[in-house]
Homo-oligomer: A and B are copies of this chain.
Amino acid sequence: MRKPRKLPTLHEVAKRAGVGTTTVSRVINGVEHVEPQTLARVERAIKELGYLPNHAARVLKGHRTRTVGLVVPSIADPFFSSCAEVLQGIARRHECLLIVMATHNEKSMERDAVNTLMQHRVDGFIIAPSDSESGELCSLLMRASVPIVALDRPVAGAVVPSVVADNFVGAQHATRHLIAHGYKKIACLTGEMNLFTIRERVRGYQAAMAAANLKVLLHTSIHDYASCENAIAKMLRQPGSLDAVFTLKNSTTVDAFQALLQLRVPVPQKVAIIGYDDFQLAGTVRPAITVVQQPIQELAQTAGQLLFRHLNGAAVSAKPAPTGTQKPVVLKTSLLIRESCGCRPNQP
């Protein structure tokens, strides 16, 4: 019962136009040396038949698929969906199709995604690797010599070029800012510690605290609103044990802020807060929330540029970098100062 799939082929166009298949092929590829008259005939036939070239057949013959894959933890996450949007634009400009796959930070899904993409013979990869899964990536790289660039997180045993934000400095800067305000009991609410970015941010926080001789207050098991409110309430129970909160993840920032409001803690008079990653309404809410802002657009943009430079430019040799291991491209973050850190709107 499954017959209908039958689009016109190049042969049918050729027959209808009374020319050979080669000529039709030349026309759809915009090759010159075709008489204007025959060209018109062919174009008419194409239009009349509603012909659309069969991508699979083209790929099978010529070797490029004009397709690149993007592998990210989630499409719904604002950070990665922004990246996807930017990258799709870049791909479009290079007449490429972008295929986005979500891994939910699971190894098996990541493997699946890469596999699927390889079966589709994508010309290149951009991937936000779920940590320490680079073995497979590298083997794929060598085997197929398909260009890969890592986004947001470097690949562990990395010989692949990567573009990341400066998580360490970003977190360090934010923590120092709180310290400069005179806060001493600064708690850090992390996200999943198995993520490279989170670990870097923790390191930055720790470095700043250590440099100021302050005690590190790390909470690594916050995963939803309840646990967040719980942790904060617990700290508040002993007076003077909490000055400020530094949250390392978007959703945690929101949770913590909401918890502080819920617990009727004046922000920032009693407890200040800085979050990592900007979000919608962070500036609208009262008090407006100070955050570390990531250069999302630039991150995606440079990753895309890097990939397409490899794709169009010089051949990808077996040794991608003459220097050995690739230095990752590190992009600066910036502290977006609003009110929740204790600053007045127009004052540092």
Contacts and interface: CB of A to CB of B under 8 A. Distances in A.
B74 A85 contact: yes
A321 to B, nearest CB: 16
| Number of identical protomers | 2
Contacts of A336: none
Contacts of A280: 254, 279-281
A115 B50 CA distance: 11
A145 B50 contact: no
Contact of A99 (B54, B81, B97, B143): B97
Given A99-B97, A285-B281, A4 B145 contact: yes
Contacts of A50: 139, 143
A344 interface: no
Nearest to A144: B7
Contacts of A269: none
B279 A258 contact: no
Interface string A199-242: 00000000000000000000000000000000000000000000
Interface of A: 1-5, 7, 50, 52-57, 59-60, 63, 65, 74-76, 78, 81-82, 84-85, 88, 97, 99-102, 115-116, 118-121, 139, 143-146, 254, 257-258, 261, 279-281, 284-286, 314-316, 318
18 contacts: A7-B143, A50-B143, A53-B119, A54-B119, A55-B56, A55-B121, A56-B121, A75-B84, A76-B85, A85-B102, A97-B116, A99-B99, A254-B281, A257-B284, A279-B280, A280-B280, A280-B281, A285-B286
